[in-house]
Amino acid sequence: MKFKFIIVLLCLITSSLAAQTGEIKGTIIDQDSGEPLVGASVAIAQTSIGAAANSYGKFSIQNLKTGEYELEISFVGFEKLSKKVMVTEGSSTQVELSLKPSALSLGDVQVTQNLAQNASIISALDIELRPISTSQDVLKIVPGLFIAQHAGGGKAEQIFLRGFDIDHGTDIALSVDGMPVNMVSHAHGQGYSDLHFVIPETIERVAFDKGPYYANKGDFNTAGFATFSTRKRLESNLFKVEGGQFGTFRTVGLFNLLEPKTTKDPSLYLATEYFRTNGYFESSQNFNRFNTLLKYHQRLSDNKTIELSTSAFTSSWDASGQIPLRAIESGQISRFGAIDDTEGGNTSRVNLNAKLTTDLSDGGIIENQVFMSKYDFKLVSNFTFFLNDPINGDQITQSEDRQIYGSNNSYWNNWSLFGLKASTEFGTGFRYDQVDDIRLSRTLNRREVLSDLARGDIRESSVYFYAEEQLDLTKRLSLTAGLRYDYFTFDYVDALTPTYNRQVENKGILTPKFKLGYQAATDLNFYVKAGMGYHSNDTRVVVAQNGSDILSKAYGVDLGTLWKPTENLLVNVALWRLDLAQEFVYVGDEGVVEAGGKTQRQGVDLTVRYQLTPSLYANMDLNYTDPKSVDEAEGQDYIPLAPTFTSIGGLNYEGKKGFRGSLRYRYLDDRAANEDNSVVAKGYFLMDAVLNYEVGAFDFGIAIENVLNTEWREAQFDTESRFRNEAQSVSEIHFTPGTPFQARLSVAVKF
């Protein structure tokens, strides 16, 4: 009875406080596209009172006395807006604010204790300042993230972030329009993430952050995450043609099939992309890729919006494979030659996606999404040449046929507790992967199957629930706490056993999250993040280990600051540490299970964005990491291929007379290629340049990769191999040479 009395009393006090004041609630959108402006700032003129738009573009300013207020709304890359709003006692004043795109200015950036907003600021800046012309460039938006392509352009890129050789996505959660990109229990590697089905010109927004601190992110969110959102509508039609060296050709078309006159009108557009190249290798890559996206968006009523999309992607390629140093040093082949040029593959993906967004009368939002994907994959590789089979060679083929079904559902709302601003988010959903005939085979000339090393069918499902609460403890201090639960079912039928052999394992994991942001001054924010994340392991590992140690836990902490010391300078510094527990890994190239062991990574990230003049911008990311294997002796505790120091940066020019361009660099330091650092993967320093001139409806451009024509190694591995005529095998660096100087010309027209 006492407890009930206290609850009632608290409710009465809260209601009484709310009745004596009013509030302003609203939504901030892009005037041209209708997209929410995540992180846009709303402030009451000549006061320190304000708010930031959340991931839905919504904001609220509470506990305001009756009277007229002048709102000042700003966001990087948009014209500032002032609007007068009347607040009355005990009521909520609703406003919808639309900002018009304008010249980019760091003066529009405001730092708050809202950590999501601060991350959005950097994201918005980088999208504006970094030219995106290929699918590979999409991932480079994340500060400190490096990629490497080593199989003819069609294979997913190898990813490096925060001292991780993430392989193709094991420790970074990637999604597009809410659909997962990471493939669980993939034929080639756990978390395999192929983003080539995204057409760069359709990207509207990228949300990213580092560490395992986000309740709405689950599997693979250890080193970080990146979520991509495609445009809801087109501002105009676009047709673009690109061509360059090595038989490179690309064309893109974006077409309005329904032409909306306002953001409330239904929108339907079609986007297509075709890309081909022979590549810079002596053996042609014969790479072809075709993409298409059809997207529909409509406001069904004042409070309901539906979004429907379907996309298709297919690509095929040949590859020269990774080449050993001894073959080049002996003159047997050139840097762009091959020991076995019969590698290659083909892949395709078809997606169906539907999302219903409901705005509740009290300011809350409900999102319901369902999606499905049909995915096919075949990859032919030869890493060791004639080490295992001196007659036919060591060529392997990995393949699978997959269907993915899933749903994401969430509820979010603002509320008030004793006059303190708060928000609550709940989410639930599921994912089901049906993988048929997943196999690893020894093959000859990409056609003849010599033997199967692994073959079977996988059924993997997961369900999740999460809750996250954000509370502004004071005007300067913000607390966010979240809790997430994931439950997996792993089901494998081994096709290589003489009798029917089905193995099923279940496993759940609970992961807490915590974030604290403190605004020490108008332009200075400090934050602490701590929490647990995880990545799942391949179903074939799970059943082999009887469900033991198969959800690898990650424990992380970040201490950082976002600082704007001058109007034109933005600095982000973070000290961090991330520990991964013991795991067992399925090696897709060999069909065996290996122990991964405990690892520890700690380091510092520095991000700088500076506006030199109204038209000239500089940006730089410096990332240092100390990665170690915890259970190994000193000197034997290096993590192969883990990057220790990286830096990305450059200059961007946005002129008023149609000119814009960029000169950017990438630096990756030398790093250990094996456990005792006796073999070193060489680093590199590269520069790329882009120049565009816009006149009327036309946009002419030139893009140059590797301006200095540096000889560099894109992907490197310490591999044991043997040539046909060698008596003994040799273990040494095998690598894929990086692109030489390469220029592309483009012309685009808007209509």
- pLDDT (0 to 100) of residue 4: 53
Of the candidate ranges 107-111, 433-437, 647-651, the one whose mean pLDDT is the lowest: 107-111
Give the residue, 118 or 418, on which the prediction is more confident: 418
Q: Does the structure show a pLDDT above 90 at 482?
A: yes
Q: Rounded distance, CA 170 to CA 162, Å?
A: 13
Reported as a pLDDT band with limits 50, 70 and 90, residue 430 is: very high
Q: Rounded distance, CA 606 to CA 625, Å?
A: 12
Distances (CA, A) of 210 to 119, 147, 218, 222, 662: 10, 16, 13, 8, 26
Q: Which residues of 371-405 are buried (b: 16+ CB within 10 A; e: fewer)?
A: bbbebebbbbbbbbbbbeeeeebbbbbbbbbbebe
- pLDDT (0 to 100) of residue 24: 87
In tens, the pLDDT along 284-329 reads 999 999 999 999 999 888 889 999 999 999 999 999 889 999 999 9
Phi, psi of 657 (to 5 degrees): -110, 30
* DSSP bridge pairs for 536: 551
Q: Rounded distance, CA 268 to CA 260, Å?
A: 8
Q: Does the structure show a pLDDT above 70 at 346?
A: yes
- pLDDT (0 to 100) of residue 515: 95
Both tokens of 405, joined, read 């079904």
- pLDDT (0 to 100) of residue 647: 96
Distances (CA, A) of 713 to 151, 322, 325, 400, 479: 13, 10, 11, 30, 45
How much of the chain, in percent, has pLDDT values that exceed 90? 62
- Span 18-102: which CATH code? 2.60.40.1120
* DSSP bridge pairs for 584: 595
Of the candidate ranges 211-225, 251-265, 550-564, 576-590, the one whose mean pLDDT is the lowest: 576-590
Q: Does the structure show a pLDDT above 90 at 589?
A: no
The secondary element (H helix, E strand) that includes residue 15 is helix 2-20
Q: Does the structure show a pLDDT above 90 at 493?
A: yes
Q: Does the structure show a pLDDT above 50 at 17?
A: no
| Ranges of each domain in the chain | 18-102, 144-750
Phi, psi of 374 (to 5 degrees): -110, 125
Select the CATH number that applies to the domain covering 144-750 from these four: 1.10.10.10, 3.40.462.10, 3.30.70.3460, 2.40.170.20: 2.40.170.20
- pLDDT (0 to 100) of residue 108: 73
Cβ-based neighbours of 397, under 8 Å, separated by 6 or more: 378, 379, 380, 381, 439, 440, 441, 443, 446, 449
Mean pLDDT confidence for 711-724: 93
